[in-house]
Amino acid sequence: MKRVLLIGPTPPPSGGIASHLDDLGRAAAELGFETRRLGLPAKRVATQGAWRSGVRLARGMLWAQAHRAIVHLHTNGHNPGSWRLIACVTAVTSHRRLLLTIHSGLAPEFILSQAAQCRRALRPYRAIVGVSRTIVDALLAAGLEGDRLRLVPAFSAAALPLPLQPAGWQAIARVARPLLVAIVGHGAEYGTEALALGFAEIARRLPEAHLVILGAGARDPRSYVQLCALDISHRIHRMGDLSRPEALGALATADLLIRPSLTDGDALSIREALALGVRVVASDAVPRPPGVHTFPAGDPAALAAAACTALLTPPWAPQTDAFFRPLFELYRELPGEGAH
């Protein structure tokens, strides 16, 4: 039996990389891999927290070394802290069964600005996965060898947990015609300004439309000011960071998902919506999967027009997928049989 150590952030927040790791670990176990999860906080808020994370990382790498496990690190790749983690994994061990997945839509800009540093940090990794074409292209432009790079979206419909409807959802759904959902994090790159102004135009055209905002950025004070400035703020519901099953339950009964981001990685929420048969409108910040209605990033009027058009079209038919097959093929290619 091959063993795999998965390293990456844990909730909260419950979306993005943390959700992908939940799905990947569950899928790997179903296929006969023995998996262990090493969760690191998304942000190191104090020196003591950083020290504890370092100890946990060292212990995890010792376990991987002793059991000849594959080590698969997941990180955003868009800031110095992420690249320090990439380097730390190799610094605390002589382990050579190392894989890395880079997830963030902001990563390409950082990689290209620090190409030499990134090449050095990635030298020990047997394979580097980008969840989007723009990430892989940035790694190629930075001088990484193409035979070490893989493009693998961070999603499998087959691995989704069972959706659960969040408390209070039915009360919103009863009055919303249509019901729109957006999932946003902290930071201007999530496009909350375009979302607020775009929904104002949607609400003008569709007087019974309601918008539910999910995610860690839903209760950001800056978005609160933007939303309360609108005279339709009573039709905007900020539910915040839900558990993964609850977020899927909300998404499954929505008429439309809006992804207004100014940049993006693989956008897990888009693939979740498509797998659930929900219409999707997203910015053209990066190439989107088939079935997505796009609009120019940062353009509220175009967002509203795309949303109204999408609502008149049939939902995207759910597609089957490869159940993370490219990743499991990578796992099987690497040496790493468990110790006996």
CA dihedral sign of residues 53, 40, 57, 265: negative
Burial of 250 (C-beta count, 10 Å sphere; 0-12/13-18/19+):
buried
Q: Across the chain, what does the average pLDDT equal?
A: 89
Neighbours of 163 (CB within 10 A): 18
Question: What pLDDT is recorded for position 337?
Answer: 46
Indicate if the pLDDT at residue 79 is higher than 70.
yes
**What 8-state DSSP symbol labels residue 154?**
S
Indicate if the pLDDT at residue 48 is higher than 50.
no
**What 8-state DSSP symbol labels residue 112?**
H
Half-sphere exposure of 117 (CA within 13 A, CB side): 15
Give the integer Cα–Cα distance in Å for 184 and 335. Answer: 39
Bridge partners of 37? 6
Residue 37's CATH number: 3.40.50.2000
Residue 317 placed within a domain: no
Q: Where are the alpha helices (DSSP H) in 99-229?
A: 107-113, 115-122, 133-141, 169-175, 192-205, 221-228
116 lies in the same domain as 193: no
| pLDDT tens, residue by residue, 193-223 | 899 899 999 999 999 999 999 998 887 766 6
Indicate if the pLDDT at residue 166 is higher than 50.
yes
Indicate if the pLDDT at residue 146 is higher than 70.
yes
229 lies in the same domain as 152: no
Which residues, in sequence order, are CB contacts of 39 under 8 Å at separation 6+?
A: 8, 9, 10
Domains of the chain: total: 2
199 lies in the same domain as 219: yes
Query: Taking every pair of C-alpha atoms in the chain, what is the biggest distance, in angstroms?
Result: 67
Tell me the pLDDT band of 229, cut-offs 50, 70 and 90.
low
Cα–Cα distances in angstroms (integers) from residue 152 to residues 127, 132, 329, 335, in the given order: 12, 7, 12, 21
Question: What pLDDT is recorded for position 94?
Answer: 67
Mean pLDDT of 292-301: 97
11 lies in the same domain as 152: yes
Residue 318 placed within a domain: no
Query: Sheet containing 293-295: which strands, arranged edge to edge?
Result: 236-240, 210-214, 179-183, 256-259, 279-283, 293-295
Indicate if the pLDDT at residue 340 is higher than 60.
no
Is 0.85 topped by the overall pTM? yes
135 lies in the same domain as 201: no
Among 214, 168, 197, 157, residue whose Cα is nearest residue 301: 197
Tell me the pLDDT band of 227, cut-offs 50, 70 and 90.
low
Residue 289 placed within a domain: yes
Indicate if the pLDDT at residue 239 is higher than 50.
yes
| pLDDT tens, residue by residue, 246-286 | 999 999 999 999 999 999 988 999 999 999 999 999 999 99
Tell me the pLDDT band of 72, cut-offs 50, 70 and 90.
very high
Indicate if the pLDDT at residue 336 is higher than 80.
no
Question: What pLDDT is recorded for position 321?
Answer: 73
Among 188, 163, 173, residue whose Cα is nearest residue 242: 163
133 lies in the same domain as 178: no
129 lies in the same domain as 173: no
Q: Structural domain of residue 29, as residue ranges?
A: 3-156+323-333
199 lies in the same domain as 285: yes
What are the two backbone dihedrals, phi and then psi, of residue 253, each rounded to the nearest 5 degrees? -105, 5
Among 162, 157, 164, residue whose Cα is nearest residue 27: 157
Give the integer Cα–Cα distance in Å for 41 and 51. Answer: 12
